[in-house]
Amino acid sequence: MLLIGSFASLYLFMRGRDESAAQQQVVDSITAYEDENYERVIELLEDTTTNTNTLRVTAGDSAAMWRYVVARREVEMRNNEHFARLFPALRQVVALDPGNLEAGMMLLELLMGLDRNTEALDTVTRLITAHPDEIDLLRFRYALHMRVNQESEALKDALAAAENEPLDVRTQMDVATLLQQLNGDPEPFHQRAVELLETHPDDPRAEVILARAWILKGHIFEAQQLLESASNRDAPDEDFVRVLVDSLDRLNRFEDSYAYLRRSVGPGLDNTLAYEVYFRDFEAEN
């Protein structure tokens, strides 16, 4: 009995020492993370003694898991293996802490990239419950609904997103596209666009949104006038430029859209617009 008791005492001592060491590793990972020493974070938290990609993290410690996810994302591996390694931990972070919006958005992007549409829809719905006013989550969900041919559900989310951010031209164009696909009544969209321009008479985004509403109703002349006015104002951002170019293209005003696109390339706007000019030049020459 004395021998058994000695072994039990030794086991408990060793177990306690291992747990203390593991806790210290987690504490040290906080310092390494704050110093942006991501290689050290991985060294402290990633268990390389097995082939199961386990972590030296207490179950339920979403903060430590998130530190590992960020560090593993920053320290890239060949063939994108770092994403495969961080994926299980990222899932746990979002399940444990849906309030971590950055983690949720990262998981959604990975799930959509992997075509895991059902899991992505479940995930984004849980995240919307935690972040009901986050427009990017609504965009994710209506993009997913469109991907699985649920246009009616997509339209509901697009309308909710547009209501939250009425001057967001990209979202408003998505609403218009879905209305067109569903053969929906364009009049409510047009009426909201009229009221938006009345509220923001000097905003070119409101002009472009109303122009699209006129296009939906088949009123080309009114749309052209608004687009011409909008194109003579300063572009708020690159999304606006792309939407205006697309609207002109819909009216077969290709020369005007190309000229506007070329004018828009420069300081203050996304340089990816220059690539679109190059692509159009390439198409014209070939």
Helix (H), strand (E) at residue 52: none
CA 276 to the chain's CA centroid: 22
Separation CA 101–CA 128 (nearest Å): 10
CA 78 to the chain's CA centroid: 24
Separation CA 112–CA 121 (nearest Å): 9
Note whether 123 and 107 are within 8 A (CB): yes
pLDDT tens per residue across all 286 residues of the chain: 544 555 555 444 445 544 565 567 777 888 888 989 999 989 888 886 665 567 888 878 999 999 999 999 999 989 889 998 899 999 999 999 999 999 999 999 999 999 999 999 999 999 999 998 898 999 999 999 999 999 999 999 999 999 999 999 999 999 999 999 999 999 999 999 999 999 999 999 999 999 999 999 999 999 999 999 999 998 898 899 999 999 999 999 999 999 998 888 866 555 677 778 878 887 777 7
Torsion of CA 192, 194, 197, 198, to 10 degrees: -110
